[in-house]
Homo-oligomer: A and B are copies of this chain.
């Protein structure tokens, strides 16, 4: 009930704070018999960690994963898989001056309102550091889905108003902003650095693509595939919008334009378009799954802002510390992870559907 778990059959539970001893994730329900590669988990974590470029935070966390249970002789036993990551670069000094004030756009005021008490160091539990655990779990989900020919990737399609106009998948991981259009990537990088120089931040939009997902996943009517995916993606820090397929654009089409017509194909129907983003009536239709997330500009900025302190009195805040001037590039592997976990979960749930 408390909200630190996601998924029903492939169920993750995360724990840990940004500046605590360590963080970790328990995966309960990973199918027995799956070969688990620590190296693959590490590879995904390396994509998300900080300090890799000048568009991300300068906190230096090696993010070394260790598996503490659930894997024997390299294979999942069916018992909970626990992956732990130590926090190493936890310099909390920069947070001392915001201990008693509420940073606008952060969970400071809301956590005080909810819990009455909070671990302010590095943002505590509300920090995006928690998403490392999601990425570790997503890597395990990916190993499972690999066996079904299911692939998931995400890429930045807009930052600070600069939009990608070309798509070359090979380019995505070659630039700091994870954009499939190299020319746009350069402009996006400039925009971020410009904002950083101003002590400010920018946001953007990422697209998530899942191929090979079979038709039939999703549990009508409340745990539809799209509703569950929206839950998964909206739970990522800084995400303020989720759309599937044509999304908000679909609202401006006519039915005759928006409907994806079908033709007979060798393995189920071939769709003549993909405005549905691969989901009809909440259930996957075999077409490529397409989703997009809107990520707000990082709320941590070096500019002075009006706010209140923990007693509710007026205060002025200027956020110090190491922050991402644009969180989007590092949110890309997190969005992939949440999508992988959602698909793994729905795939397992779907096994109970028929006689």
Cα A28 to Cα B12 in complex, Å, equals 12
A168 at interface by CB-CB < 8 Å: no
A-B pairs with the 8 shortest C-beta distances? A107-B281, A3-B219, A3-B223, A241-B243, A2-B29, A201-B255, A110-B283, A113-B215
- Closest chain-B Cβ to A326's Cβ sits at a distance in Å of 9
Q: Is A175 an interface residue (CB 8 A)?
A: no
Q: Check A231 for interface membership: any CB of B closer than 8 A.
A: yes
A167 within 8 A of B: no
Tell which of B80, B125, B204 touches A79, judged by Cβ atoms closer than 8 Å: B125
A78 touches B115 (CB 8 A): yes
Assuming the A-B contacts A241-B244, A246-B240, A254-B200, are A107 and B282 also in contact, with contact meaning beta carbons closer than 8 angstroms in the complex? Answer: yes
Contact of A114 among B144, B237, B350 (CB under 8 A): B350
| Chain A, range 254-277, C-beta contacts under 8 Å to B | 254-265, 268-269, 272, 275-277
The residues of B that contact A268 with a CB separation of less than 8 Å are 109, 113, 312
Q: Which residues of B contact A34 (CB under 8 A)?
A: 355
A108 to B204 alpha-carbon distance, docked (Å) = 35
Q: Which of A55-63, A178-186, A303-311 contacts B (4 or more CB under 8 A)?
A: A303-311
Cβ of A138 within 8 Å of any chain B Cβ, yes or no, is no
Interface string of A152-167 (1 = CB under 8 A from B): 0000001011000000
In the assembled complex, how far is the CB of residue A158 from the closest CB belonging to chain B, in whole angstroms? Answer: 6
**Contact between B114 and A250, CB atoms less than 8 A apart:** no
Contact A105 B224 (CB under 8 A): no
Select which of B5, B104, B126 is within 8 A of A260 by beta carbon.
Answer: B104
A226 partner residues in chain B, CB cutoff 8 A: 234, 240
**Using Cβ atoms and an 8 Å threshold, which residues of chain B touch A75?**
117
Q: With A107-B283, A235-B227, A264-B313 given, is the CB distance from A298 to B255 under 8 Å? A: yes
Q: A240-B246, A241-B247 are in contact. Are A285 and B109 (CB under 8 A)?
A: yes
A-B contact list, 14 entries, CB within 8 Å:
A2-B11, A4-B221, A13-B26, A14-B221, A24-B68, A33-B355, A105-B280, A109-B280, A110-B280, A111-B283, A125-B221, A240-B246, A248-B248, A255-B300
Kindly list chain B residues whose C-beta atoms are within 8 Å of the C-beta of A260: 104-105
A11 to chain B, nearest CB (A): 6
B354 touches A116 (CB 8 A): yes
Q: Which residues from chain B contact A205 at a C-beta distance below 8 Å?
A: 248, 251
Q: Is there an interface contact between B113 and A283, defined as CB atoms closer than 8 Å? A: yes
Do A117 and B244 have beta carbons less than 8 Å apart?
A: no
